[in-house]
Amino acid sequence: MTAHKAEAATAQGGAPELIKAVPVRHPGRWVGAAVILLLVALGIQSLATNPQFHWETVALYILDVNVVRGVGWTLLLTVLSMVLAIVLAVLLAVMRQSDNPIFRWSSWVWVWFFRGTPVYTQLLFWGLVTVLYPTMSLGIPFGPALVTWVLEDPTRGFIPAVLGLGLNESAYLAEIFRAGLKSVDKGQAEAAEALGMSRGKIMWRIILPQAMRVIVPPTGNETIGMLKTTSLVLAVPFTLDLTFVTNSLANRTYLPIPLLIVAATWYLVITSILMVGQHYIEKHYGKGIESGAPPVNPAAAKAAAAGTAPTGTAPTGVEPGEAIPGGPTVTGKDIEESGR
């Protein structure tokens, strides 16, 4: 309703008519929701009625000692690989921003190589490294060797698996960390240098805490991805992880589907826990950045509801306590002022 019609209605002694707002209808949303609910119902029916899932076998092996041990090895692979990758990624990101061209190009070549070759191929290589280098020597280049030792793997593939996963992941994390470091304004470092802080202290106390809000979300995703990438360590070969253990049990029982469900269930449980941890870490480093609604002045809100100017905050030309133009009328109804 325009202001003229409202004024005419008020002049005739009656209250202005209220606009009868009709909500916008969204039939597409209801159709989409109905389709999703139908698909969910069909999925639940299939899971409950299809005997090929063999839920009794799933219940039998979900807490099997070999499966639980496989979960432990998978978690250990994930943690150690990510620790190695994070340490290398921080170093590579700092080298990439160095003034030394050798550092910059070394970091770039590392990222280019490990990001450009498949992780499965790298795991195969690390599994065959003792074939490529049966012995290692330390001495003068093209001269006599001072120290020589035989390469062997007493961990039965565990160390090569950690190296393969960690070095591959470091290339991806290096780019994530570099983006986080570049997100911090250069003025922060310049101000810290003006205060006499060393470069190491500036990086540790000034730059990294501010860059973490950019670094944490993709690093959390990479951690979840690393958890699932451990299923490829058979290429080394390492045969104690969750995927290999469940595949071995499936070959023994000739029931691959329920054992795949067992592995998928464990991966989902671990991933869910990691997602919860990622949420709280993001919340911690996002303090002061992600704010909700802007703060509301209680006096201004109360005055706006009453249609008067609060004390000390009256607009120009309006005395405190005086009715604000456009505020509620004596009848308590809002009148649109846009037509004036």
Which residue has 């389709």 as its token pair?
35
Portion of the chain with pLDDT greater than 70, in percent:
80
Q: What is the pLDDT of residue 311?
A: 53
Which residue has 């360590």 as its token pair?
233
Q: What is the pLDDT of residue 305?
A: 57
Q: What is the pLDDT of residue 25?
A: 86
End-to-end alpha-carbon separation of the chain, Å?
Answer: 13
**Residue 320: pLDDT band with limits 50, 70, 90:** low
Question: Cis before residue 134, ω within 30 degrees of 0?
Answer: no
Phi, psi dihedrals of residue 256, rounded to the nearest 5°: -70, -35
Q: What is the pLDDT of residue 107?
A: 93
Q: What is the pLDDT of residue 335?
A: 40
Pick 143 or 312 by higher pLDDT: 143
Contact 236, 127 (CB under 8 A): yes
Q: What is the pLDDT of residue 337?
A: 42
Q: What is the pLDDT of residue 340?
A: 40
**Residue 39: pLDDT band with limits 50, 70, 90:** very high
Token digits for 237? 């070969």
Average pLDDT over residues 190-217: 86
What confidence tens digit (pLDDT) does each residue in 41-60 have? 999 999 999 999 999 999 99
Q: What is the pLDDT of residue 42?
A: 95
What confidence tens digit (pLDDT) does each residue in 220-263 have? 999 999 999 999 999 988 889 999 999 999 999 899 999 999 99
Q: What is the pLDDT of residue 203?
A: 82
Q: What is the pLDDT of residue 118?
A: 93
Q: Which of 162, 205, 181 is nearest to 107 (CA)?
A: 181
Q: What is the pLDDT of residue 336?
A: 43
Inform me whether the pLDDT recorded for 134 exceeds 80.
no
Task: Compute the distance between CA of residue 55 and CA of residue 62 in angstroms, rounded to an integer.
Answer: 10
Task: Compute the distance between CA of residue 81 and CA of residue 233 in angstroms, rounded to an integer.
Answer: 12
Average pLDDT over residues 24-28: 87
Average pLDDT over residues 209-225: 89
Run of H or E including 147: strand 145-150
- Longest Cα pair distance anywhere in the chain, in angstroms? 111
Task: Compute the distance between CA of residue 31 and CA of residue 99 in angstroms, rounded to an integer.
Answer: 59
**Residue 328: pLDDT band with limits 50, 70, 90:** very low
**Residue 308: pLDDT band with limits 50, 70, 90:** low
Pick 194 or 318 by higher pLDDT: 194
Average pLDDT over residues 111-131: 91
Task: State the average pLDDT for the chain.
Answer: 82
